[in-house]
Amino acid sequence: MKFSQIFLPTLREVPSDAETISHQLMLRAGLVRKLAAGLYEWLPAGLRVLRKVEQIVRDEMNAANGQEVWLPQLQPKNLWEETGRWGVYGKELMRLKDRKDAEFCLAPTAEEVITDLVRKEVRSYRSLPLMLFQFGVKYRDEIRPRFGVMRAREFLMKDAYSFHADDADVENYYKKMVEAYKNIFKRCGLNFRPVEAESGAIGGSFSHEFMVLAESGEEGIVSCSCGYAANVERAELPDPSKNAPADAQGTPAYAEVSTPGATSVEAVAKIVKQPAHQFIKALVVLADDKPVMVLVRGDHELNEAKLQRLLGVSRIVKANEAAYTQLSGSPVGFAGPVGSPAKTIADYAIRTITDGVCGANKKDMHVTHVVPDRDFKPEQYADLRKAAAGDPCPKCGKPMDYARGIEVGHTFKLGTKYSDSMKATYLDAQGKAKSFIMGCYGIGVSRVVAACIEQCHDAQGIVWPAALAPWDLIICALNITNTTVMSAAEKLYKDAQSKGLNVLLDDRDLQTGAKLKDADLIGIPWRIVLGERKMAENKVELKARSEKDSRDVPLNDVLAQIKS
């Protein structure tokens, strides 16, 4: 391809509304453009990368005996009603009506559609196991679309679904898929880690997230040298008071203090001079619309997934101001368990507090010298918080490390969740109808592209791993009016193509600096520069994008050097 002809609009300036490096570089390198919030146009260079990821994923899905299908993006409401998800999915589901007023949604995922297909077509255990996958555009009306294609409202996903006759088979197959996923991300050249993920009401360790390690990642991961690794939401934490009971013998009786306008831990801490780990944060949440007061330590974060499981509810949301005030009797920021008639549930770590601080259930007032179980009694203590650096490993007890990651894939053993509710059955060897046992496996193909850039870049631009680069090689002809240079560049371009390389020929009439900047920005693994002076000695300049220095190489040997 010739740079002068391709639609590859690069930008010098950093776009002001792009917060993350990958978002900035995807815009600057001419990979994507924004249409509206969470909606992106993929330009030719971007699409080349996307297709490379797609092909790697497809290879590995085929190798895992998957069969590719194409499912509609428009999905009828009645299927979603069968599983109850038309209601549960909430506002993330994009809903619409056709001309006859029939209701549909735009696919955010496809469990319903695939289960419907299989229940209609697969009758016998003899047809199992069966794995079907697709590359499909997905729609999710994210609350906060951000970071470019990383959290978009329309994105490309590979979704795969497997159907099995028994538990042993799905578990075996699940392991195979985890291996396939590892192959995929390895082949993409990514530094990643599979971690145990929250598997909701189903429980067990049959959900894994595949995290690309990056500072900008939205997910927290804890890991241990013993090999355990989990999402901070998943990692189970023990009751610390079991080994080290807190000693509050010398703590005086609790007392109210005035804390005008101080509604955060930091603000109150300044007034009462106590560290965050002595704070009792009282959060009011709605558990399936019922208000509940939950206590976590000032330096900890509530894990809604754990709370949801403990209470056996399907939805936890932060209470609005009215519900907060009704339960606590105070404005937001001043709730607390001392003297409150509300039932409270406390995280285990609350028990480590020896001289605590909490809200007084009155405007502008807090209570100090609070001791749990002396001054208030929660209805229950439980593991309710997100794991953090230094927390003990649930497998071996050693302190864990913390890192941030970008979730690029998710594998899940579904069991019979969908087949039961949709009455999807097969006949076993005895002729008895049984629910299919299912697994599902997603990869955010478009998110992989952004995640890769988060990991693979420098101050000049993207540094593509060879497997994902839009082109293998860029040839820069410095002076296009010089016929010797230009004809050598054209010849090299053809030779490289005939050797199977994907080549971009920079034949634009631009300053040298501008051309080299673009080559670095776009991040093509190899660059050959042809200039008048070196051409006189029959030499060209060869540079790997990942290396600092270039070297002079004989023109007739340069492609062989790249190939090797």
Cβ-based nearer residue to ligand ATP, 79 or 406: 406
> By C-beta, is 129 or 444 nearer to ligand ATP?
444
Question: Can you tell me the distance from the alpha carbon of 345 to that of 360, in angstroms, rounded to the nearest whole number?
Answer: 17
Asked if 128 contacts 419 with a C-beta cutoff of 8 angstroms, the reply is no
Nearest-angstrom CA–CA distance, 163 and 17: 44
Distance CA 410, CA 443 (A): 7
| Least distance from ligand ATP to the Cβ atom of residue 149, Å | 6
Q: From the CB of 231, what's the least distance to ligand ATP, in Å?
A: 9
Binding site for ligand ATP (CB under 6 A): 109, 140, 142, 151-152, 155, 157, 407-410, 442, 444, 446-447
Task: State the minimum distance, in angstroms, from the CB of residue 404 to ligand ATP.
Answer: 13
**C-alpha to C-alpha distance for 179 and 100, rounded to whole angstroms:** 46
CB nearer to ligand ATP: give 141 or 239: 141
Q: Which residue is nearest to ligand ATP (CB)?
A: 444
Supply the minimum distance, in Å, between the C-beta of residue 254 and ligand ATP. Answer: 41
Fill in the amino acid letter for 433: A
Report d(CA 359, CA 330) in Å as an integer: 9
The torsion angles phi and psi of 314, rounded to 5 degrees, stand at -100, -10
Give the integer Cα–Cα distance in Å for 358 and 342. Answer: 15
3-state DSSP helix/strand/coil percent for the chain, to nearest 5?
30, 30, 40
Distance CA 470, CA 447 (A): 16
Residue 179, both tokens: 């291996």
Cα R_g (the chain), whole angstroms: 29
Nearer to ligand ATP, 52 or 151 (CB): 151
With vertex at residue 460, the alpha carbon angle to CA 458 and CA 461, rounded to the nearest 5 degrees, is 70
How far is CA 278 from each of CA 297, 336, 345, 371, rounded to the nearest angstrom?
7, 13, 17, 10
- d(Cα 471, Cα 522) in Å, to the nearest integer? 9
CA atoms within 13 A on the CB side of 234: 24
* Pairing state between β 255-258 and 229-231: unpaired
Minimum CB distance to ligand ATP smaller for 40 or for 493: 40
Sequence-distant (6+) residues with CB within 8 A of 376 are: 337, 338, 339, 340, 344, 370
Taking the complex as a whole, how short is the minimal distance between the CB of residue 447 and ligand ATP, in angstroms? 4
Q: Which helix (H) or strand (E) holds 267?
A: helix 265-272
Q: Are 157 and 442 within 8 A, CB to CB?
A: yes
3-state secondary structure of 70: coil
Shorter beta-carbon distance to ligand ATP: residue 212 or 357: 212
Shorter beta-carbon distance to ligand ATP: residue 281 or 447: 447
What is the closest distance, in whole angstroms, from the C-beta atom of residue 233 to ligand ATP in the complex? 10
The smaller minimum CB distance to ligand ATP, of residues 200 and 275, is found at 200
Q: Which is nearer to ligand ATP, 192 or 381 (CB)?
A: 192
* Whether the Cβ atoms of residue 58 and residue 68 lie closer than 8 Å to each other: yes
Q: What is the smallest separation between the CB atom of 198 and ligand ATP, expressed in angstroms?
A: 9
Query: In this complex, which beta carbon is closest to ligand ATP, that of residue 209 or of residue 391?
Result: 209
Least CB distance to ligand ATP at residue 50 (A): 12
